[in-house]
A = this chain, B = another copy of it.
Amino acid sequence: MTDHRASHPLRLQDIAAFDHEADVVIVGCGSSGASAAIAAADAGATVLILEAASAGGGTTALAGGLIYMGCGTPIQKACGFSDTPEAMYEYLIRASGTNADPERVRLYVDGSLAHYDWLLAQGMHFKPEYYPTKNTNTPGDECLIYTGNEACTGFAEHATPVPRGHKGQAMGEGGGSMLMEKLIASARAKGVRILCDTRAQTAIVDHTGAVVGLLARSEGRDIRIAARRAVVLCAGGFIMNTDMVSRHAPWLQNHTTLNGNPNDDGSGICIGLGAGGAAMNMNEGFVCLPFYPPANFVEAIMVDSHGQRFINEDVYHGRMGEAILKRYPERHYMIVDAGHMHDFNRPPLGGFRIIATGDTAEELETELGMPADTLAHTIALYNRHAREGRDPLFRKHTDYLRPLEPPYAACEVTPGSGAFFPVFTLGGLRARATGEVLTEDGQAVPGLFTAGRNSCGLPRSGAGYSSGMSIGDATFFGRLAGASAAGSPVRTMPDAR
């Protein structure tokens, strides 16, 4: 064995023989890789998946399993919600912010109902039940829940809010593992082979620069795999690669919890870069601060060290987490009141605790070391407006507007104070929506495709992320990449050993 670096692809002319071959070779058996495999097999290709772990599943199997779908799915309709392509498109464009990719959003929206049907065809089942309370997931086996900022200021004025988070019928956080079981079973039934304990190292390229295979480490030895048509990189993001995060998204390292599986180490991104692809959106990440549940914490206010509010507190936990982490090391506090006290009978999900209390706002302000007439003014102004049923400053939804009543308390939500900030990356290989990996100057790398967090896909902004966008993106664009790969021309037909 020699040290094979992703940045140095092997040359086809130097390969004596291949150990395996398939039309389409996929790196990674998470939700993007499994979806790509199913689509490629459906298109008639022979498919081999290389999985670094001892079993497929990837990060999706560890996730709650929400999938962002809309345009009037049967579940949305059964629960009494009316959704339109216009509303879904407008929401997703705004959620992507300045990083938006309109072509990708268009495809995702227009294909959403067909994607729902495709998931059913893979064996998924969704229970037509809506969970109406603000939460990070449905606690039982309910399917439908608001998972983003749809009903919040900045979005609701532009796109009629509807819930689009869909979880397969599983209890609590079990949606992700169930989804992966279904996808892997479907792939196997279609003849897809999965080689576990096999870690892709670098690409094999022909004299034109086209990718024609992969070198991998499998159970202690180097193996060479020929991809007659194409390679699809679906190896996940890079949140577990400290070196890459420190160079590309160092802000994600400020007292956060890495949210992923150990193989989210950027190796798929590095293989793509080594083969000539470009990366983009590498600075972006999803940041969560689960300040709810319980949902009535949304009635609290969030302030900075100046005692000033800075956000409508009814936002999705990801938008809140991003705002606070981006302002690190600025200190932040959640100001709760008498009505919240019973919520501390057990530790809130967010991991924060009460650090100051006051019978009056002035007392709380003093205990927090803030100058007089700062936090006290903020609370008085908020209460005055809340009594009138409005929040003219940040336009928090009226559902969560109520005057705060003494006694007051402050929970610190600064990163590093004990608050829980799980994070993952939203940057990856630049690719067409149909999966072709692109160079910095916009050329497709022949024979190379990507999807999921290995790519820069649909979710582009921590501030605009909604739960279900990443698995939605991985399964939807995984399918497109798999189909594109299966349709690629045959480039080489080496002997398999």
Q: List A residues at the B interface (Cβ < 8 Å).
A: 5-8, 98-99, 209, 243-244, 247-248, 250-251, 253-254, 266, 269-270, 273-274, 276, 278-284, 306, 308-309, 371, 373-374, 377, 381, 385, 392-394, 430, 439-443
Q: Is the CB of B269 within 8 A of A5?
A: no
Q: Is the CB of A441 within 8 A of B7?
A: yes
Report A391 CB to chain B, min CB distance, Å: 10
Which residue, A274, A440, A441, has most C-beta atoms of chain B within 10 A?
A440
Q: Is the CB of A7 within 8 A of B443?
A: yes
Selected from B244, B276, B280, B284, the residue in CB contact (under 8 A) with A7 is B276
Bound form: Cα–Cα A7–B209 in Å = 11
Q: Is the CB of B374 within 8 A of A440?
A: no
Bound form: Cα–Cα A440–B248 in Å = 11
Q: Look across to chain B and name the residue whose beta carbon is closest to the beta carbon of A267.
A: B441
Known A-B contacts A250-B98, A253-B98, A374-B381; A278 and B273 likewise in contact (beta carbons under 8 Å): yes
Please indicate the chain B residues that have their CB under 8 angstroms from the CB of A374 in the complex.
Answer: 381, 393
Please indicate the chain B residues that have their CB under 8 angstroms from the CB of A5 in the complex.
Answer: 439, 441, 443
Please indicate the chain B residues that have their CB under 8 angstroms from the CB of A6 in the complex.
Answer: 440-441
Please indicate the chain B residues that have their CB under 8 angstroms from the CB of A393 in the complex.
Answer: 306, 371, 374
Report A202 CB to chain B, min CB distance, Å: 10
Q: Look across to chain B and name the residue whose beta carbon is closest to the beta carbon of A326.
A: B326
Bound form: Cα–Cα A371–B391 in Å = 10
- What is the copy number of this chain in the assembly? 2
Q: Is the CB of B442 within 8 A of A243?
A: yes
Q: Is the CB of A440 within 8 A of B98?
A: no
Bound form: Cα–Cα A310–B279 in Å = 34
| Closest A-B pairs by Cβ, 5 of them | A7-B439, A283-B283, A98-B250, A371-B392, A273-B440
Bound form: Cα–Cα A180–B244 in Å = 36
Report A479 CB to chain B, min CB distance, Å: 24
Bound form: Cα–Cα A441–B244 in Å = 9
Q: Is the CB of A247 within 8 A of B430?
A: yes
- With A7-B439, A306-B393, A371-B393 known, 5 other A-B pairs at CB within 8 A are A5-B439, A7-B443, A273-B439, A373-B381, A377-B377
Please indicate the chain B residues that have their CB under 8 angstroms from the CB of A430 in the complex.
Answer: 247
Please indicate the chain B residues that have their CB under 8 angstroms from the CB of A442 in the complex.
Answer: 243
Bound form: Cα–Cα A8–B441 in Å = 10
Report A235 CB to chain B, min CB distance, Å: 14
Q: Look across to chain B and name the residue whose beta carbon is closest to the beta carbon of A369.
A: B392
Bound form: Cα–Cα A281–B282 in Å = 9
In the assembled complex, 13 residue pairs joining A and B whose CB atoms fall closer than 8 Å, in A order, are: A5-B439, A5-B441, A6-B441, A7-B440, A8-B209, A8-B276, A244-B440, A270-B441, A274-B439, A278-B279, A283-B283, A374-B381, A377-B377
Q: Is the CB of B244 within 8 A of A98?
A: no
Which residue, A309, A373, A441, has most C-beta atoms of chain B within 10 A?
A441
Q: Is the CB of B443 within 8 A of A250?
A: no
Q: Is the CB of B250 within 8 A of A99?
A: yes
Report A145 CB to chain B, min CB distance, Å: 29
Q: Is the CB of B251 within 8 A of A98?
A: yes
Please indicate the chain B residues that have their CB under 8 angstroms from the CB of A8 in the complex.
Answer: 209, 276, 443
Q: Look across to chain B and name the residue whose beta carbon is closest to the beta carbon of A250.
A: B98
Bound form: Cα–Cα A226–B446 in Å = 29
Q: Look across to chain B and name the residue whose beta carbon is closest to the beta carbon of A328.
A: B98
Bound form: Cα–Cα A394–B284 in Å = 28
Bound form: Cα–Cα A357–B7 in Å = 60
Bound form: Cα–Cα A307–B274 in Å = 50
Please indicate the chain B residues that have their CB under 8 angstroms from the CB of A278 in the complex.
Answer: 273, 279
Report A308 CB to chain B, min CB distance, Å: 5
Please indicate the chain B residues that have their CB under 8 angstroms from the CB of A7 in the complex.
Answer: 276, 439-441, 443
Selected from B254, B282, B381, the residue in CB contact (under 8 A) with A282 is B282
Which residue, A6, A7, A309, A394, has most C-beta atoms of chain B within 10 A?
A7
Selected from B247, B253, B440, the residue in CB contact (under 8 A) with A270 is B440
Which residue, A209, A266, A276, has most C-beta atoms of chain B within 10 A?
A276
Q: Is the CB of B274 within 8 A of A276?
A: yes
Bound form: Cα–Cα A253–B98 in Å = 9
Q: Look across to chain B and name the residue whose beta carbon is closest to the beta carbon of A377.
A: B377
Bound form: Cα–Cα A279–B278 in Å = 9
